[in-house]
């Protein structure tokens, strides 16, 4: 779950809002697969639910992005920008499945919607298409991530502190009881320790030497 700490590669810029909304949308095929207008409409409805007033995508943008990524890869591997967003989705899945963590109410619905799409069978682009079959999944994660990133970062810190506390108590992490409230307490304690250490570095426990005196 370290994706957030690394550089995240951008998805193709062609997926950004079109500079000319009236341009023709000609391309519809990714390899042998043809995108459906109805599926595209449903996909845009999901993106709008996740990202508010997001500009709808059209088939041409998605197909062009897929072709650009496939051409840039030059192999059967998944492009980095897609793989990184699938790793972010993996963090979401771990967060929702962790019984020790109680996610904030405002992220439960969008996180669930993202995972439902990724795990469902109504894909805009079939997963079996080489290299870019998960492009639509990456777009969904990208749309929702601004609403989810803060909570995922908090969950990752929760996992870090839970591991530290479990080791301090000499317990297996699977059986160690640690929840969000415990994390908040541990986080405050850690912040207090850091502030104490900062003050100590700027001072000293050794008393100042007595000044010299003269006998007149």
- Domain coverage including residue 32: 3-149
Rounded to the nearest 5 percent, the helix, strand and coil shares of the chain are 60, 0, 40
Question: In the predicted model, is pLDDT for residue 119 greater than 80?
Answer: yes
Residue 83 banded pLDDT, cuts 50, 70, 90: very high
How far from 209 is each of 16, 115, 199, 206, 212, CA to CA, in Å?
Answer: 66, 65, 20, 9, 9
Tokens of 148: 């989810």
**pLDDT for 173-190, tens place per residue?**
999 999 999 999 999 999
Is 110:147 a contact under the CB 8 Å cutoff?
A: yes
Tally of domains in the chain: 1
Report if residue 16 sits inside a domain: yes
Residue 4 banded pLDDT, cuts 50, 70, 90: very low
Question: In the predicted model, is pLDDT for residue 216 greater than 80?
Answer: no
Pairs from 167-172 (Cβ < 8 Å, separation ≥ 24): none
Task: Record the pTM.
Answer: 0.84
Residue 8 banded pLDDT, cuts 50, 70, 90: very high
Mean pLDDT value of segment 156-183: 95
Backbone angles phi, psi at 56, to 5 degrees: -60, 145
Question: In the predicted model, is pLDDT for residue 5 greater than 70?
Answer: no
Tokens of 205: 């426990």
Is 72:120 a contact under the CB 8 Å cutoff?
A: no
Q: What is the largest CA-CA distance in the chain?
A: 103
Strands (E), the chain: 29-30, 33-34
Report if residue 195 sits inside a domain: no
Burial class (CB in 10 A: 0-12, 13-18, 19+), 192: exposed
Backbone angles phi, psi at 143, to 5 degrees: -65, -40
Report if residue 175 sits inside a domain: no
What does the pLDDT read at residue 1?
47
Q: Which residues contact 92 (CB under 8 A, 6 or more apart)?
A: 111, 114, 115, 148, 152
Q: What residue has token string 């992005």?
A: 65
**pLDDT for 12-44, tens place per residue?**
999 997 655 555 567 899 989 999 999 999 999
Give me the chain's average pLDDT, please.
88
Report if residue 184 sits inside a domain: no
Q: What residue has token string 């160690």?
A: 176
Report if residue 171 sits inside a domain: no
Report if residue 63 sits inside a domain: yes
Is 1:94 a contact under the CB 8 Å cutoff?
A: yes
Report if residue 95 sits inside a domain: yes
Report if residue 165 sits inside a domain: no
């Amino acid at each position: 779950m370290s994706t957030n700490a690394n550089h995240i590669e951008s998805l193709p810029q062609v997926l950004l809002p079109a500079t000319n909304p009236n341009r023709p949308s000609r391309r519809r095929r990714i390899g042998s697969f043809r995108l459906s207008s109805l599926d595209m409409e449903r996909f845009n409805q999901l993106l709008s639910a996740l990202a508010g007033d997001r500009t709808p995508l059209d088939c041409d943008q998605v197909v062009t992005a897929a072709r650009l990524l496939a051409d840039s890869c030059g192999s059967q591997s998944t492009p980095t920008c897609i793989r990184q967003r699938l790793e972010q989705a993996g963090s979401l899945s771990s967060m929702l499945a962790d019984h020790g963590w109680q996610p904030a109410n405002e992220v439960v619905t969008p996180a669930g919607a993202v995972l439902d799409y990724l795990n469902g069978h109504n894909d805009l682009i079939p997963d079996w298409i080489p290299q870019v079959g998960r492009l639509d999944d990456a777009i969904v994660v990208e749309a929702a991530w601004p609403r989810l990133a803060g909570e995922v970062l908090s969950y990752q810190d929760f996992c870090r502190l839970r591991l530290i506390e479990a080791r301090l108590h000499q317990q297996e992490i699977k059986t160690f009881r640690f929840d969000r409230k415990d994390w908040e307490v541990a986080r405050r304690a850690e912040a207090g320790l850091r502030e104490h250490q900062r003050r100590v570095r700027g001072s000293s426990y050794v008393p100042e030497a007595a000044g010299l005196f003269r006998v007149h």
